[in-house]
Structure 1
């Protein structure tokens, strides 16, 4: 009868030794499918290894537990990695924020996200689609669309909400929005930016633009071309938050807090474009007259 000190070695000896080619097959299949190893079907791993499912299970001793343990021993948590799509969006955002849009190549993202270029093609289809996904994650467009698709608050409250969303997007780390806007100013003809504009501008016109058009039609704000109204609305706030980090280091410059800043710009915009409303209309989209 063995003593207690021999028990761990006996248990380890009873586990099958997993060949390195099966570990590699599991890792490659996970990258190709954009999943954790633990979520990859046994059949997919077998196909990656060029063997049948039954042969794979036989070589693993009838259970994939040994494979998951071998993958963990190789330095990869079989169930600990986020999907390739999520890792790639985060990695691409950090590359843009730190080095600019030119640093966003599929090779650089794959290296930073610890995945293969092939898995990026599987998850996104190409660089432009990855850029679209990063923009959606780090811009306020999705939250703005959600705000504007529901029941509208009054004009002033909606403006303040949109300003807070834009301020948050321009202030967060990594600084994706400022980096993208810098590229727009420096290289407006860059093909990736033109493709992004073709993807984003129609959505902005359908969301913010349509909301402004509805406010004009309801007689709550001045009639102006919608692109000019959009520029008047976001331009001052945009300029402030793009330059705000640099202003912090200028002696003698004291900046108000983010909330106070958003309130000041919202009041300025409303003062410029909001039309006086009769008393019974206030609270239903109108702004108080001066």
Structure 2
């Protein structure tokens, strides 16, 4: 089926995205609504974060566009998908502590029992939300793919981080706020204990290889990782509160990314 761009609540969903969803659903033998977004992104040849940006952060924008193409996207999404979407909105609007299983079940239109059946508990649900709305999977994909030079890799990681910080619902900023305010909270600790080994295995291993190859100055790994991501995190977490202030005169996001990329390289890259 050939399709053109379709409108979903005023936002044009690109034709190639709609076609990718239709093709993936056909290959899997399931309705479009049951095809994970990561699969649609792979079929369209883009990252998951880029797909979400093109959909305005909403899965139902894709379903609306498929429906506009004359294809029924299918019934309700699986409980696991609805629960992750609902929990993301709750976390964005009310914080991590507010994302109880009872509140998420009510927002997702399911029972608490079905959440236990799908996730086994609250920690696994929160981890699934973080995995979907953080840049973790996309950063891992960049580092596992054909290796670019140091500058291009740093720039790509910065872009993915900015996408995750700017995306609605604002899950990553909300989770970081909870981590800063309540670092000893059991949910925060459970999240970091799950995520930190992956961070070391991905970004940590890459930076270690760069140091071993002599392209990056040798220094403790965690401060090096913070030096790469800290300025970007700080700026884009505060940017929404400052961009409308008189005299702020902020550069564009892409210009800002380039500033932080070059600053990091001047600080750690070897001549």
TM-score range, shorter chain: 0.7 to 0.9
Q: Please identify runs of 4+ aligned residues in structure 1 that moved more than 6 A.
A: none
| 240, 253, 256: which one aligns with 1:261 | 256
C-alpha deviation, 1:151, in angstroms = 2.3
Aligned residues: 203
C-alpha deviation, 1:258, in angstroms = 1.2
| 219, 228, 252: which one aligns with 1:224 | 219
CA distance in structure 1 between the partners assigned to 2:196 and 2:135 by the alignment: 13
Gaps of 5+ in 2: 1-30, 35-71
Q: Where do residues 65-76 of structure 1 align in structure 2 (5 Å cutoff)?
A: none
| 127, 138, 141: which one aligns with 2:136 | 141
- Structure whose CA Rg is larger: 1
Are 2:123 and 1:128 equivalent residues in the alignment?
yes
CA distance in structure 1 between the partners assigned to 2:153 and 2:97 by the alignment: 35
Match of 2:86 in 1: 91
SS in 2 for 1:220: coil
C-alpha deviation, 1:188, in angstroms = 0.3
SS in 1 for 2:248: coil
SS in 2 for 1:80: coil
C-alpha deviation, 1:248, in angstroms = 1.6
Match of 1:159 in 2: 154
SS in 2 for 1:259: helix
CA distance in structure 2 between the partners assigned to 1:272 and 1:100 by the alignment: 35
SS in 2 for 1:195: helix
CA distance in structure 2 between the partners assigned to 1:175 and 1:131 by the alignment: 14
| 156, 170, 177: which one aligns with 1:175 | 170
Deviations 1:89-113 (A, max 9, x none): 0100000000001110010000000
Gaps of 5+ in 1: 1-35, 40-76, 277-290
